[in-house]
Amino acid sequence: MITYLEAIRLAQQKALATDPRVFLYGQDIASFGGAFKATKNLSKEFPGRVFDATLSEDAIVGMAIGAAIEGMRPIVEMQFADFSTCGLNQIVNHAATLYYRTGVPCPIVVRLPSGGTSGGGPFHSQSMEALYAHYPGLVVVTPATVEDAYTMLFDAVALDDPVIFCEHKFLYNHLKAESLPETSLPIGKARLARTGRDATIVTHGAMLHESLAAATELAEEGFELEIVDLRSVKPLDTDTILASVARTGRLLCVSEEWPWGGVTSEVIARVSAEGFGLLDVAPMRVNAKDTPVPYHPDLWSVHRPTASTIAAAARRLLLS
């Protein structure tokens, strides 16, 4: 069985093996294999292609940008997504503006181990997809399955533009697959993770699995929920969302991020603006609470959406 984490490792392995322009750069990723072991053995397998970085997120991203200008395809690992705030300036103001300003694309991939886990606390749990999606010039992806972790990372490396790769730590060892696909939906396309006629849940990342569990719960009550896994939040596949809402007439957006200006508000804004007539009732959203992510497992499990809070919201939506 291949875990989500192993899929990320294998995608990097494949990228290194097939594209000489690829190299890996990040803290503790060489002989140690990374804080989560996402690069385990790669430095041995690809000597001179995997480098330990200094404790300098700004320099890490800046170095990757320079290397990309020279035609390389760096994959950068942030030790936790939360530390990318220290490299944010280079990401949003340098990598993201390079093509627009100079016509030279900036093919870097920044891997962000994202999202909450038990005991992670305020600084090792953040979901930063909305922050990066707000800025023009970045592609922001949020794989929710082992298959997507693999194919989307490989595809991200092939892309000429900077990609923020939000991989979810909660899924690292939690998700497993029998085998890995050779191809898949391209970046930018959402996927129907479950079909149903009664309401559409739009979600991404770890919340896909909470939403699927909620749908199972609701199915026992006779409701069929359709679930759209966004896969990438920028670009956002409005067409697939609208097509689903056209079928169901009801929309629930679920995300582990903070609510203000997050994926849920962007999705609801688009559906309301572009598919107003498709909505039978008011769209709803379920987000994390608007506080830092708490440390204690009991607080954490209430802070983020779960199958049961999603199911409760879905029930309200279905009865409205």
Partner 1 sequence: MPKTSAAVTQADYIKAYRIMLLSRVLEEKLASLYRAGMIKGGVFLGRGQEALSVSVGIHLHRGDIFAPLIRDQAGRLAFGDTVLDTLRTYLGSQLGSMRGRDGNIHRGRPRDGYYAMISHLGAMIPAVSGGLFARRLKGERGVVGATCIGDGGTSTGAFHEGLNAAAVEKLPLVVVIANNQYAYSTPNSRQYACADLLDKAAGYGVVGHKADGTNLLDCLQTLRRAVQNARGGGGPQLVVADLLRLVGHGEHDDGQYVDPKLKASPLGGDCLVIAEHHILEQKWATAEEHAVWRREVETEVNSTADRVRREPPPDPEEDDWAALSCPEYREQYATS
Ligand X SMILES: Cc1ncc(C[n+]2csc(CCOP(=O)(O)OP(=O)(O)O)c2C)c(N)n1
Q: Which residues, 283 to 312, sit near its own copies by CB under 8 A? A: 283-285, 289-292
Give the C-alpha distances (Å, rounded to integers) separating 228 from 31, 93, 132, 152, 204. Answer: 39, 31, 21, 17, 8
Q: How far is the CB of 182 from partner 1 (least distance, A)?
A: 20
Residue 68 structure tokens? 């990309």
Q: Which of 60, 172, 160 is nearest to 115 (CA)?
A: 172
Residue 122 interacts with its own copies (CB under 8 A)? yes
Residue 261 interacts with partner 1 (CB under 8 A)? no
* Number of other residues whose CB lies within 10 A of the CB of residue 214: 29
- Binding positions for partner 1, 113-172, rule CB under 8 A: 118-124, 136-137, 139, 159-161
Q: How many CA atoms lie within 13 A of 164 on its CB side?
A: 32
- Binding positions for ligand X, 15-34, rule CB under 6 A: 27
Residue 96 interacts with partner 1 (CB under 8 A)? yes
CA–CA distance, 224 with 198 (Å, rounded to integer): 5
Residue number with the shortest CB distance to ligand X?
A: 83
CA–CA distance, 204 with 127 (Å, rounded to integer): 11
Could you tell me if 304 and 288 are in contact, meaning their C-beta atoms sit under 8 angstroms apart?
yes
Residue 75 interacts with its own copies (CB under 8 A)? no
Q: Which of 91, 99, 230 is nearest to 163 (CA)?
A: 91
Q: Is 296 a catalytic residue?
A: no
CA–CA distance, 320 with 311 (Å, rounded to integer): 14
Find the binder of partner 1 among 8, 11, 16, 63 (CB under 8 A): 63
- Binding positions for partner 1, 168-207, rule CB under 8 A: 186-188
Q: Are strands 176-177 and 163-168 parallel, antiparallel or unpaired?
A: unpaired
Which range binds its own copies by CB under 8 A, 10-18, 28-36, 96-104, 161-169? 96-104
Site size with partner 1, rule: CB under 8 A: 99
CA–CA distance, 108 with 128 (Å, rounded to integer): 17
91: DSSP letter: I
Find the binder of partner 1 among 45, 195, 280, 296 (CB under 8 A): 296
Could you tell me if 283 and 222 are in contact, meaning their C-beta atoms sit under 8 angstroms apart?
no
Residue 307 interacts with partner 1 (CB under 8 A)? no
Residue 127 structure tokens? 């979901």
- Closer Cβ to its own copies, 11 or 92, answer by number: 92
Residue 55 interacts with its own copies (CB under 8 A)? no
263 binds, among partner 1, its own copies, ligand X, none (CB under 5 to 8 A by kind): its own copies
Rule CB under 6 A: which residues touch ligand X?
27, 55, 57, 79, 83, 86
Active site residues: 124
Rule CB under 8 A: which residues touch its own copies?
82, 85-86, 88-89, 92-93, 96-97, 100-101, 122-123, 130-131, 133-137, 234, 236, 257-258, 260-266, 268-277, 279, 281-285, 289-292
